[in-house]
Amino acid sequence: MSSFRKALKTKTRDHKERSQLGFRKHLGLLEKKKDYKLRADDYHRKQKTILALRKKAMDKNPDEFNFKMIHNQLKDGVHMIKPEESVMTDEQKKMMRTQDIRYVEMKRVSEMKKIERMKSELHFLDVNEEKKNKHVFYVDSKKEVEDFDLATHLNTVPALVDRVYNRPTIETLTHKSILGAVESKSIKKLAKQRKQQYLRLSERIDREQEMFVISQKIQTRKDLQDKVKKVKVRKETSTAPAIYRFETKRKR
């Protein structure tokens, strides 16, 4: 019985903090000490961060290099991150996800054969209006230079002097009939067709080059799966794969 009384005497009473008074309920809940402690700790933590940043700004060397100097730019007084250049086009990503390197190589070889066939048919006639090659004529005196007539020297009519191909002589024009288109309307039509053929050839060359880049990128990704130490030498671009230097490993 005495022990029960001692237990009743030693029992502590729970502390209950009072709530907000009735006439102050419009002010909200009454702040307790634990709420004040959290708010005070948050305030002091922010003050310490501000002081540390202020000290870092005061001690900063204006000539110090930072990588964000390259990747950021100032626009209307606000620092903006520069958009990174896409190293792969959408078509390249789609092709690499869906096709295998063997399929890409097969299509590239097919394009190369078509390019060679078109080149053999066109012979690159009138590719550029400016003639890259030069034809030099030598004479013995200045008088011959002044009296020099290119049409007479080439033995052809003046209208055909500027042509770099199919330039018949006067004797050929006199004794033989001209094969092919002669009328201006037919000549214009043939010129238009030739221009379209060169345009198709240019598109095929670009397509073949793009497939070559895709096959190289696929092969590079396959090589990276090997567990060998490597160092990136050059970043990947839209026109070339990334270049890695692999550690030399002796094979048994």
Q: pTM of the predicted model, to two decimals?
A: 0.43
What is the spatial distance between Cα 40 and Cα 34, in angstroms, rounded to a whole number?
Answer: 10
Residue 156: how many other CB atoms lie within 10 Å: 19
Give pLDDT < 50 ranges for the chain. Answer: 126-129, 181
Q: Give the integer Cα–Cα distance in Å for 58 and 54.
A: 6
Q: Judge whether 87 and 237 are in contact, CB under 8 Å.
A: yes
- Tokens 């029960």 label which residue? 4
| H helical segments located in the chain | 2-10, 33-59, 68-71, 90-98, 101-122, 142-146, 150-154, 170-175, 184-224
Rounded CA separation 227/247 (Å): 10
Inter-residue contact 223 to 239 (CB < 8 Å): no
β-strand partners of 243: 234
- Using the 8-state DSSP alphabet, how is residue 176 labeled? S
Q: What's the pLDDT at 128?
A: 47
- Which pLDDT value is given to residue 39? 93
What does the pLDDT read at residue 159? 72
Q: Which of 180, 191, 179 is nearest to 129 (CA)?
A: 191
Per-position b or e across 102-138, b if 16+ CB within 10 A of its CB: eebbebbeebeeebeeeeeeeeeeeeeeeeeeeeeee
